[in-house]
Structure 1
Amino acid sequence: MARGESGVDSPTEATSGRRLAGHEFVLSEFVPPPFAITQVGLVTGIGFARLTAPEVDDFGERSGTASFSVGALEQIASFRVAPSPYFGLRATAAGIALIGTDVDSALTFGASAGYDLSGGALATAASGRVRLSGSFDVGLNRSYRFNLVDAIVNSVNEGKINRSTLLVSTKTTWISPGLHFAVALHDAVGVWASIGYRHEFTRTDDTKSSDGSLKVGGALSVDFNPVTPLPVGLLGTYAVTIPFADDAQKVHELTAGFLYTGRSNLLVGPEGRMTLSSLAPGVDLTAYEAIFGLRYFW
Structure 2
Amino acid sequence: MDEIYRLADRCSVLRDGAYVGTLDKAELSAQKLVSMMVGRDLSTFYTKDHVAHDDARHVVLRVEGMSDGRLVRDCSFDVHEGEVLGLSGLVGSGRTELARLIYGADPATAGTVTLNGREVTPRSPREALRHGIVYLTEDRKALGLFLDMTIAQNISTCVHERDAHRGGFLNFRAQAERAARAIRELGIKTPSARLNTGALSGGNQQKVLLARLLEAQPAVVILDEPTRGVDVGAKSEIYRLIDRLAREGMAVVMISSELPEIIGVADRVLVMRDGEIAGEVRAAPGKPVKQEEIMTLSTGAAA
TM-score bin (small chain)? under 0.3
Taking structure 2 as the reference length, what is the TM-score of the superposition? 0.23
Identify, as 1 or 2, the structure richer in strand.
1
Identify, as 1 or 2, the structure richer in helix.
2
Q: Which has the higher contact order (CA 8 A, sep 6+)?
A: 2
Taking structure 1 as the reference length, what is the TM-score of the superposition? 0.23
